[in-house]
Structure 1
């Protein structure tokens, strides 16, 4: 094990995922202290560089979610300051937060992802960009923030009404993708190994932000009750996407699987380079099932950052 370090835990910030980040950061800080490290907790504001300069940590544990902690901004700042940090670097973060760039980086290498195209939000009031059902989502938000499934039976209207609440009211551009029916699967990668496959069964029928972070709203099935070939495909694709994007530390690959189509129905939706570390989060849960405690997981991420 690495000698005891002074570690700054960067959390909070001002993204839509602030509360989740604070929960992740609090758990990480407590785990680090239990391991004997000295911890400085930093709720990121615009003065973050000054706070880090004052703290002078050996390592920054990046517990931020969403922008600017996950999109390369903070990574670039830390690079300029000469500070070592956990999780992925600048270039990887820029690509992975952007769903279009992620497709461009992975699909040519044979990673199966849904098709799709960028649409102007104003245009969806005139006509559907794709045949229904389809999904509209922000290009660079995480945690299912602002995702809408547009169906014939839905209450968005046809075409979508201008006064209807949805991501089109918040973002100038959206990614339109065909809706993949079926099941929600996810695989965590730590270093160069996949930890397993979890199936997520939201009681609301859709794994949105509330379903992810509200206790009791989603059943986590681990290991997922799926055919061996689907399990193996998830593990292989998750590790290969982690490698192709040059992720560091841990990442989480999210999938949709159309169980009527076998392995041809498996699609990678995105790679999360800053997966949650809250009590309900999937990476700690998968690590626990493989015999790794929460502090051991945190320590493993620290040691990955020091390589």
Structure 2
């Protein structure tokens, strides 16, 4: 794929003013967000940016009221106190404070895996068959209607929180126990048999794909954030296959109303080909995270990546910039 990243637009860190690196919060992904946020903060400071840490949305509002924030690098993850569900974006739009990542529509839509898949289907983009499960719905009946194996996951969580891999009906017991105490909708999705990929999007450019090879049977929370034996091959494909997965990821990102930066997860089914799984609008930036690995493949180191993401808050063409 010939499309490449343009050079950075600015070299003076003073153009950013005071930058709040928003991390932590109260979602289920708090610890991952804190890890990402510390890394981003150190990277921006290493480039001379006047950046400071803010833990959670209420503290950010206080800092804005005090006149201490010119723009926000959002590295909150998740919803209900996270920063990926459109609530934060609407708040910052109303206050006229620029921020990184997609705006209200893209953030709210992609936080909901079910509605994202419905949009993709309407656009003719490939995604696995699924069933929407409201609280109290029969998981066994749903699994039988789809056919095993399936995954069961919350529609509005990330980082593999509450994900269950169902190979036989007996495996549904743990998922049913989780569902009994979970108030939101669940997504039951046909399991894709094939390789797992992710494609980072940065400023309208799809970066090289990454093929994920976990040591275990699947890419769960442990493989993502704890294990050191997960392999990441970048680029994940060659030739036209690599071009095709990048085109698909960018199309999926745009169809979901997203701009700026993010990450699109894709699997390659042995029979059906590429299948879209989900979008992350505030991707992890930990030592195990994938966007920095893809950026490095095109010569962009971690600090430069953070700079480029922050640049998107400057100018009318910036993804997620509303100020």
**Fold in common (TM above 0.5):** yes
Between 134-143 and 242-251, report the one with greater CA deviation.
242-251
Aligned length: 299
Select the residue among 16, 29, 42 that pairs with 2:28: 16
Return closer, same or farther for 1:252/1:64 CA change in 2, 3 Å cut-off. Answer: same
TM-score by length of 1: 0.90
Q: What is the deviation of 1:113?
A: 0.9
Residue aligning to 2:86: 72
Select the residue among 117, 124, 127 that pairs with 2:131: 117
2:46 maps to 1:34: yes
Indicate conservation of the 8 Å contact 2:24/2:33, yes or no: yes
Q: What is the deviation of 1:84?
A: 0.7
Select the residue among 239, 242, 250 that pairs with 1:228: 239
Mapped to 2, the partners of 1:35 and 1:56 lie a distance apart of 20
Between 105-114 and 137-146, report the one with greater CA deviation.
105-114
- Give 3-state SS (helix, strand or coil) of 1:306's partner: coil
**Which deviations, in whole Å up to 9, do the C-alpha atoms of 1:43-80 show, x marking residues without a partner?**
11534311332253221110111113000011111111
Return closer, same or farther for 1:201/1:76 CA change in 2, 3 Å cut-off. Answer: same
Residue aligning to 1:295: 303
**Which deviations, in whole Å up to 9, do the C-alpha atoms of 1:229-271 show, x marking residues without a partner?**
332221001111222233232111101112x33xx32101011
Residue aligning to 1:255: 266
- Give 3-state SS (helix, strand or coil) of 2:66's partner: helix
Select the residue among 126, 139, 148 that pairs with 2:164: 148
Unmatched 5+ residue regions in structure 1?
A: none
Return closer, same or farther for 1:126/1:179 CA change in 2, 3 Å cut-off. Answer: closer
C-alpha root-mean-square deviation of aligned residues, in Å? Answer: 2.0
Indicate conservation of the 8 Å contact 2:164/2:175, yes or no: no
TM-score by length of 2: 0.86
Q: What is the deviation of 1:163?
A: 9.0
Q: What is the deviation of 1:20?
A: 1.0
Q: What is the deviation of 1:204?
A: 1.7
Residue aligning to 1:57: 69
